Structure 1
Amino acid sequence: METMRWVDGCLEILDQTLLPGKAEYIKCEQYTTVCDAICRLSVRGAPAIGAAAAYGLVLGAAALKPAGKDEFIAAVEQIARNLSVTRPTAVNLQWALDRMLRVLHNYTSGNVEDLKETLLREAHAIYAEDLESNRRMGEFGEKLVPTNAAILTHCNAGALATAGIGTALGVIRAAHQAGKNISVYADETRPLLQGARLTTWEMVQEKIPVTLLTDNMAGYLMACGKVDLVIVGADRIAANGDVANKIGTYGVAVLAKEHGLPFYVAAPMSTIDFNIASGQGIPIENRDDREVTCFAGQQVAPEGVKVWNPAFDVTPAHLVTAIITDRGVARPPYTETLAALAGR
């Protein structure tokens, strides 16, 4: 099932807030609908957010009727700023918007309709490149997976988080397709249950054996010898290899280190932010208190209780065994190996 699709001048986004109960698409005819979909997590996962934002910029640009090129570019830049603030941690969002704006500034034609077409072509390119990026990550990462392996993953880094087969789940899919005996343990991933709702749904569709567990069971699962390795995705990776991913990832990494298990991160090169030296510089999104105080629309905590609800945490590079990218596998020291893969 496609995470998003471009149909007759509109972006259709699979509403992941309804999964696994319903599979419905949101028809986005205006860029503000895309902004809302990103904020509400109807579309989520760093690569998917980047692609959605690119198409959102196309929708915003299509509605403009400027007097000339300069006015058009100024208006598109404002739309990009509005899109960029929807989710601050996932770097692919800003990466995609910056790439779209670069193309716009570099295009020599003064014809506004040509500029609009140029933006659409670039959005299509970002989407298509993510498909290929996922395939390559799967190819590189699959070689790290033993012939028989039980893999723990946290949150959802699958097809639903990308335009393709996924990052972490893309590696798992590739290992499965290679004929390896793979099974998956999926953390439920509180507070929004992306693992329970989305990862298990994807694995069931693929007929890959999957077992669901609550987040606080991961340590005992490892102690019982039921896990061979951990693979997760990422929303932003600093130049030194520190990894921002869904809240709870850091705890899983600490547990993996304690139990001597490999902890792998799968993410495209576009998720690596070389402008940030370490995880301390990564902005962490804080979300609505009601995500914690309510469950399935019902209040489960006392009214007025204080809530801390960061959407992400940062896993230090020394806990990461390797980072699987679409250009190869990086190992410590990440400051050197990630830069080498990027050709810096």
Structure 2
Amino acid sequence: MGINAHFELGLGGFSLDAGFSAPGRGVTALFGRSGSGKSTLLRCIAGLERAPVGRLEVNGEVWQESGRGRFLPTHRRPIGYVFQEPGLFPHLSVQRNLEFGWKRIDRSRRRVAMDQAVELLGLGRLLGRAPGGLSGGERQRVAIARALLSSPELLLMDEPLAALDLASKAEILPYLERLHGELAIPVLYVSHAPDEVARLADHVVLLQEGRVIHQGGLNEALTRLDLPLARDPEAAAVVEVRVAEHDERYQLTYLDFPGGRFTISRRALTPGQRLRLRIHAQDVSVTLNRPGETSILNVFPARLREMAELNGSKLLLRLEVGDAILLARITRKSADHLGLRPGQPLFAQTKALALLN
């Protein structure tokens, strides 16, 4: 069960020829620069653009197959669609906005209950208010809840945070993570922001000039040296960790992963809780021998798997640390001084860690 899509479409001077497969659960990010075809591909999936050549299958049901003349119109596709702008009805309260689609779904087909959507998006205190009195983040949370209450089999999100300021983005991201963790509805999430992809996605489809250049798991997309995300100035790897314990004496928290144990400042986390760490390539350095007297707490045995040139002075390293992959950005001079070569055992040390959730 999953999503299988392929569309070919010409729009003026732009050509889309993109196909991908995605899991039937979790968040799949459609990622690329502006103009790469992300939103056009999403509109094809929604049926808002009718591609002359196209096929779409969602969890075993064919919604579109141009070779057989099958095209399920948008209003018959069981989708929820969240745009950059919430598009709420200004004359209706939050409660009435939520009820608009929910009441039109037969009881037997309702997959999300009203109280579940309200609780997931934290809307309890907003139900009686008008959209005009809400912040941008609050309006977008209402729009997401309204989309969920249409009981979709597929949730489409087209850069839902693009119109929000940093504070509103920080407010809404934890709610999106809850959707990711608690609902079985697959999500296609369009974004050009690497930090959103790192925080939310399980699977990534990379687009460039209307073509899919890669699809696969999150960390592979982030760390493959031949892909654009690894070469971005903000390049980073994501590591799944489990909260191990707290050190009350030194006010530290320990996070376990297959390559060892990370140490971070004390956080209000529950032992056993699973989290994501984002580790920027610029914050990782390497050494041939385990450091002795050092203030850096996060040092791990590693193996250098690949090297790639970034420019005349910098190299990018792909490091294997247990089952995890890290990136390191170092100078060419440092690489020559250490005599680095693929396959070499090293020690990786990281100065900074970003807790994503």
TM-score range, shorter chain: under 0.3
Higher helix share: 1
Larger Rg: 2
Higher percent of residues as strand: 2
TM-score (norm 1): 0.25
